[in-house]
Amino acid sequence: MADYRGRGRGGERGRGGERGRGGERGRGRGRGRGDFEGGGRGRGSATFSGFQGRDDSPRGYGDAPRGRGRGQGGGNYGADRRGGGGGGYGRGKPDKFAGEQTVFSPGVIPQPDPTITKLEDDLIKGNSVSALAAKMSQAQISSSKSPTDIWFPRRPAFGTQGNPVTLWANYFKLDASAKVPLLKYSLKCTLKTPREAEGKRKEGAKSKGNDKKNQDRKPRSRKLHSIIKSALTKVAGSTPFATEFKDQVISLKPLTLPDNRIVTVSYHDEGKEDEYEVKFDGPTTVNLPGLLEYLKTMQEPAGDVTFPRFEEAINALSIITGYYARSNTNTSALGRSRYFPLEMKGEQYDLGFPDYNRIIRGYFQSARPATGRLILNTNVAHGVFRPRGPVSDLVDLFKHNYPLVHKALAKLRCRCMVLSEDQNLEKTRVILKIIRGLANRSDGSGANRPRIKQLGASANDVQFYLQAPAPAGLKGNAFCSVADYYKKRYGHDINPKYPVVNVGSEAKPVYMPAELVEIIDGQPLRRKTTPDETRGMINFSCRSPYANATSISTYGRQVLGLDNPEFLGRFGIQVGKTLLTVKGRELLPPTIVYKDGKQPMQDKNININEGEWNMESVRVFRPGMKIDRWFWISIDGGPRAHQRHSEVANSIQQWVSFLKTQGIAIADKPLANENEKVTVVRSPAEAIRPVFKQMQANNPQFVFVVLPGRKTDTTIYNDVKKLGDQEFGYLTQNVLSQNLLKNNPQVFANLGLKINLKMGGINHKLRDDITIVKRTPTMVVGYDVTHPTNLAGNAQGLPSIAGLVNSIDDHLGQWPSTAWAQDGRKEMLGEELQGRFAERLRLYQSHNRRLPDNIIIYRDGVSESQFIKVLQEELPSIRKACGEIYPATQRPKLLIIVSVKRHQTRFYPTDPKHTIRSSRNIKNGTIVDRGVTQAAIWDFFLTAHKGLQGTSRPAHYTVLLDEVFGNMPREEAVNQLEKLTYEICHLFGRATKAVSICPPAYYADILCTRSRVYLSDLFENSDTQSTTSSTTISAVPSVAVHGNIQNSMYYI
């Protein structure tokens, strides 16, 4: 067998087994989901060690962005050729690290604070921790819950395995004074109902019926910012305060409030005389002294076990440290923690045609508690923002392509210049509006709809019906052009070069000249990014650890105002000047085992190099069921359909021959099929269904589907999976014809790994089986929930999808699954979890003839604020499932670990000897459990994978419940859990590399993505619907798969 090492740039994560679709969670947007093998994957994959080589379509899903062609021209599967000194790019590429140091080093590298290290050791070893352990082991998270065994286990010890290393962390020390009292006010802002007595507007029966609706209307975004700013101007006086301009204010002294604690604010920015009421509740005293004391002792004086601990105080510190950037008019603040400078030219990248959006490099920051100190987490962030400036300039930029201009303007906030009738410039007003688009022939309703020549019509060619009485010089109850209206009312000659803009609605348009409308800067893109935009984002944002650490320490401090002692000092806060260093450890990798390619009965050990290995001269460790009955079809369309059919048939046979060299058992020839060529005319499902139906008589085990072209048609892909997974129960494997016809061993091998998993095989295992699994029957479980994201804001009722996988063998090679849909945006799993978990136990029992003694659960994706809910709402369902299956005298021991990838902690090397040479990241296997953690919480950061580009993001693991390791010596318990988690990252079945998140969580995420395919009509309709329509789902749809495949890894 060939050595499939064509390096290219494999990927750290690729979260997904099926498509190169952009990610839905937002958890690393655009994560690879690839069932389509693009000759190896770029960063969207966690498959073979590179496999990029010279493929023109560098990622499974057509040319979707994450692969980016990095490594093209380098790597001819046999030689590790990186493009002749191109720095890991293809031949002839410039050095991507030009002008950079190997590691971030602003002078002397400080050692981790010895006082913090001593305190951590004392808290683990000393009496204070013993007392805490006794208290926590008896305390309930909630008195309303009956289980008495719900608590977070304390950290038994710090890990000791691995080679010690010192790392930079993207944290600054945050000093706060307990002597400075902080007061917190909660805010509620509502629209004040107009009073008839004030004569502001007539209040007929209709408006009276809407009184409550008006009162409940809450302003959002910039409007809310403006209203709260005005309210605070009235009541703060000289008192220092900080706010996130949403619902909280932190002040040093009580604010001067009226007796009813309601401040009325007039808001005229949108051209209407609205009044809003801002109600101030409080103040309450922020318990900052309690927080500071807790960080020294890890003991709460009140004895109340909560998590996150002292959340209110931490939030108050985040509000204070973020106020400078949030109140800066040249900064766009997104959410509670991300800030983007609008005027730093070097920190922006124009994406150009077709939408002229731009990427801005900004910064995340959040206060965090750690042992003995407060720390400020600061990281580089990137956002895509929509165009800005006068609409007339945008029209010029688009070269008067009005359909594109119309699309680009939709929903943008703008400033409209309202002219004065006496032509006095000093009386010109500016009001805020939202652009509907250009004047369009579909505008208006009723008998007197506007008369518009065409999309993009100028002011002379747009007429609206002007009701009497009309301004001087204009005729009422008649049609009037926008040009005449502005000329005769305002004396303004509209430039005929530009179109008219609608700043009203489609039903009630309000027309303005393009030159009088300016798009407000700093508006984020709310839709999914296109492949080109995502590619641009990656090109701009993927920078070395050195570059990111440097940006944080320079531009980041400037944007965030961390060197603003005057403001922060009033609150008793000071931010350290340099990034913190922490202690880490580099764990040794395991040894991988395959079957020998020449002696199939013999095991062959494979050593790991920087988290990767290759499959030279090996076979899969355990082949799955033999594929005796299989078909293949080629889907095509267009004028040249099936002209290369004989070539496809030949490549299929070469592929089958290659599968045998991998040790995969498959019949030489497919079953006879008269319909190998499938032409899609209208609906792919209509074309494929009769072909699949004809196959039923032969009960096929597998169907290979060749998809047209180099870029995957998502509709065809979705229909293949819906029909195969749900309607007919066929295991399917897709491959793009462009990739198949290359007859590339890298492509064939990658597909082979997936096929073997789907047929129940095990591709590789660890030489030294995981201790806890080897000693005691153990089932490992992963589950996740994904939510509808990046969809139209008015879509209602779209479901969330839950996915659960479990191991059924002691090699942790097979992970069958179950998935279901539940109410949208609901993270916690409900009663359905009990039945599904019991089903998993029965499946394990059927494979092992006994139930597991231990169940290790990796719960993916929940935030810290939801940790308690996992124990309160999900753990009881799991226990009930066990009670349903196990005898009354037998219960399994449970271990629940939350795995989180979406966090902002990063580590940077301090020593060039401890780096991945090609990316200058920290080494794979690096673990950090102190310095930026809390001694009382059992958690750790693990970078299991080889970071290929950008800065590696570690996975963060937190233990919520431990009944498995509790009887071990303390250090052994910690070392065993860290070893378990690290080593299973090498068991992702379709990969020849360690992946960044442990496979149970990874597989669960892939499963959720596959299940979402079955509901693609719902999600895609919602994503593309008009702004005036809405989607409401009356019942939660099913994502169940056919019984033939439900206990297989069909989703990979």
> Of the ranges 36-40, 590-594, 798-802, which is most confident?
590-594
| Lookup: tokens for 658 | 């290659």
Task: Give Cα separations from 221 to 319, 323, 339 (angstroms).
Answer: 16, 15, 14
- Note whether 184 and 248 are within 8 A (CB): yes
Q: Which residues contact 577 (CB under 8 A, 6 or more apart)?
A: 172
Task: Give Cα separations from 130 to 133, 932, 966 (angstroms).
Answer: 5, 22, 14
pLDDT mean across residues, the chain? 85
Q: Which residues contact 994 (CB under 8 A, 6 or more apart)?
A: 589, 608, 611, 612, 924, 925, 944, 945, 946, 985, 986, 988
Distance CA 689, CA 683 (A): 10
Distance CA 243, CA 326 (A): 9
Max CA distance (Å), the chain = 98
Distance CA 711, CA 1031 (A): 29
Distance CA 217, CA 275 (A): 12
Q: Which residues contact 763 (CB under 8 A, 6 or more apart)?
A: 594, 620, 621, 753, 756, 757, 813, 989, 990
Nearest Cα residue to 55 out of 877, 683, 710, 1008 = 710
Indicate the Cα dihedral angle 55, 56, 61, 67, nearest 10°: 80
- Write the pLDDT tens digit of every residue in 447-486: 899 999 999 999 999 999 999 999 988 999 999 999 999 9
Res 795: pLDDT: 52
- Write the pLDDT tens digit of every residue in 380-437: 999 999 999 999 999 999 999 999 999 999 999 999 999 988 877 778 899 999 999 9
User: Which has the higher per-residue pLDDT, 975 or 528?
Assistant: 975
pLDDT band at 302 (very low <50, low <70, confident <90, very high): low
pLDDT above 90 (res 31): no
pLDDT above 80 (res 9): no
Q: Which domains are seen in the chain, by residue range? A: 1-100 (no CATH), 183-383+532-577 (no CATH), 389-519 (2.170.260.10), 623-758 (3.40.50.2300), 768-903+953-1032 (3.30.420.10)
- Write the pLDDT tens digit of every residue in 957-974: 999 999 999 889 999 999
Q: Which residues contact 181 (CB under 8 A, 6 or more apart)?
A: 252, 285, 286
**Residue 486 — φ and ψ, nearest 5°?**
-70, -35
Name the pTM for this structure: 0.86
